[in-house]
């Protein structure tokens, strides 16, 4: 297992002319597990506080997540396409409206690069699971890129249905499929997937320890795991918890987006270390996603965005109203956009 993470990167892949832009500066800040891990009491609190996942409150959370995405996924697809996640931007550049789709693709590519996923036909992943798949944008992209088979799971029946329709329309139904399932109780046997992919779904998991255990369980020996997720800042050695104002800010977001208690990047690293996973890398890409939420707000303020939002329902409207709080959280350093990768031992 590595305790200090490398910062060397190869150049960005080539994108079609319509997606070209100045080279994106590579992330330079990576976390060392020996430096950022929190106290044992903090680590154990992830398990204790997550007990609600088996209670009626936990059931309400799962239902709320499913209903939120049932209502809002059509709006998102209409405005932003089939990739339901942040884009990866050069923080020093001006972002044009046409660049967001290519920025979302760059987010996928940069995540794969950090994890060291090989393009060598003999080494690239052949089986992939997309945990929290949305309407399957990542699944279809990865299936085409690697010629792999991919299974996607989501709590939203609307998302699963739409993802299967899109797979059929794109001629991928023989290799890509989607179903409704809980990420904490995945319907797959042990050791099935060469690549376990979770793009912005970890923040919804009420039991982070169980979530990470399930990702490891379904990974094949030697398989890679990629977790891209929202976290709160790492705690200082003298801190046992976030400050009160920080908790209040995060709670406003939790109430709108059906999120349980947040954790830090260091908490994830500690969990991965506890499972003896290898080649653990963690990066803070907050500066690279900074243009995303302002762009989403601008799209919501167009006539198309406004009318689509009104048709989507109260949950989607509530989510839209809290978007400025997301921006505030990033600006004040409370929210971190984290990418954590590792490998299951052979």
196-250 residue pLDDT tens: 999 999 999 999 999 999 999 999 999 999 999 999 999 999 999 999 999 999 9
Q: For the ranges 141-145, 193-197, 228-232, 316-320, which has the lowest average pLDDT?
A: 316-320
Q: Does any domain span residue 63? A: no
C-alpha distance across the termini of the chain, in Å: 13
Query: Closest by alpha carbon to 311, among 135, 81, 80, 75?
Result: 75
Q: Does any domain span residue 194? A: yes
Give the residue numbers spanning the domain of 121. Answer: 79-344
For the chain, percent of residues with pLDDT exceeding 90: 63
Q: Does any domain span residue 145? A: yes
127: confidence class by pLDDT, cuts 50, 70, 90? very high
Q: Which residue has the tokens 């794109």?
A: 170
Query: Closest by alpha carbon to 336, among 257, 246, 248?
Result: 246
Query: Closest by alpha carbon to 111, among 145, 152, 153, 135?
Result: 145
CA-CA-CA-CA torsion sign (106, 108, 110, 113): negative
Cα–Cα distance for residue pair 111/140, rounded to 1 Å = 16
Q: Does any domain span residue 46? A: no
Q: Does any domain span residue 322? A: yes
Q: Does any domain span residue 30? A: no
- Write down how long the chain is: 346
Average confidence (pLDDT) over 78-87: 86
Query: Closest by alpha carbon to 23, among 72, 86, 88, 120?
Result: 88
Cα–Cα distance for residue pair 184/76, rounded to 1 Å = 25
- The number of folded domains in the chain is 1
Q: Does any domain span residue 47? A: no
| CA-based radius of gyration for the chain | 19
Q: Is 326 exposed, middle or buried (CB count within 10 Å of its CB: 0-12, 13-18, 19+)?
A: buried
Q: Do strands 219-232 and 278-284 pair parallel, antiparallel, or not at all (unpaired)?
A: unpaired
pTM: 0.82
Residues 6 or more apart from 342 whose CB is under 8 A from it?
224, 225, 272, 277, 278, 279, 280, 281
185 pLDDT above the threshold of 70 = yes
Q: Are 162 and 77 contacting, i.e. CB atoms less than 8 angstroms apart?
A: yes
CATH number of the domain to which 183 belongs = 3.40.50.150
Query: Closest by alpha carbon to 271, among 192, 335, 205?
Result: 205
98: confidence class by pLDDT, cuts 50, 70, 90? low
For the chain, percent of residues with pLDDT exceeding 70: 79
What beta strand segments (E) does 71-139 contain? 127-131
Q: Does any domain span residue 58? A: no
What pLDDT was estimated at residue 97? Answer: 47
Give residue-wise pLDDT tens across range 257-308.
Answer: 999 999 999 999 999 999 999 999 999 999 999 888 888 777 767 766 667 6
């Amino acid at each position: 297992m590595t305790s200090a993470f490398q910062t060397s990167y190869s150049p960005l892949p080539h994108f079609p002319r319509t997606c070209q832009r100045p080279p994106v500066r590579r992330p330079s800040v990576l976390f060392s597990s020996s430096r950022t891990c929190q106290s044992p009491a903090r680590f154990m609190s992830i398990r204790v506080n997550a007990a609600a996942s088996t209670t009626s409150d936990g059931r309400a959370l799962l239902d709320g997540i499913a209903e939120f995405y049932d209502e809002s996924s059509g709006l998102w697809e209409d405005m932003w396409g089939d990739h339901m996640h942040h884009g990866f931007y050069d923080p020093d550049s001006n972002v044009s409206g046409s660049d967001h789709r290519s920025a979302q693709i760059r987010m996928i590519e940069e995540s794969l690069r950090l994890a060291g996923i090989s393009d060598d036909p003999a080494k690239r992943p052949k089986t992939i699971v997309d945990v929290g798949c949305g309407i399957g944008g990542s699944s279809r992209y990865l299936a085409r890129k690697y010629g792999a088979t991919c299974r996607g799971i989501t709590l939203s029946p609307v998302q699963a249905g739409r993802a299967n329709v899109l797979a059929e329309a794109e001629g991928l139904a023989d290799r890509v499929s989607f179903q409704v399932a809980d990420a904490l109780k995945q319907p797959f046997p042990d050791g099935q997937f060469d690549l376990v992919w979770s793009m912005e779904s970890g923040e919804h998991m009420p039991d982070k320890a169980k979530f990470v255990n399930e990702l490891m369980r379904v990974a094949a020996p030697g398989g890679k795991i990629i977790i891209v997720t929202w976290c709160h800042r790492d705690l200082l050695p003298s801190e046992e918890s976030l400050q009160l104002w920080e908790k209040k800010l995060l709670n406003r977001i939790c109430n709108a987006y059906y999120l349980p208690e947040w954790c830090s990047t260091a908490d994830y690293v500690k969990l991965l270390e506890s499972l003896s996973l290898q080649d653990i890398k963690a990066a803070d890409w907050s500066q690279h996603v900074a243009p995303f939420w302002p762009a989403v707000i601008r799209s919501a303020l167009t006539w198309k965005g406004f009318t689509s939002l009104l048709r989507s329902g109260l949950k989607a409207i509530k989510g839209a109203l809290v978007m400025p709080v997301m921006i505030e959280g990033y600006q004040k350093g409370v929210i971190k956009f984290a990418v954590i990768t590792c490998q299951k031992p052979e």
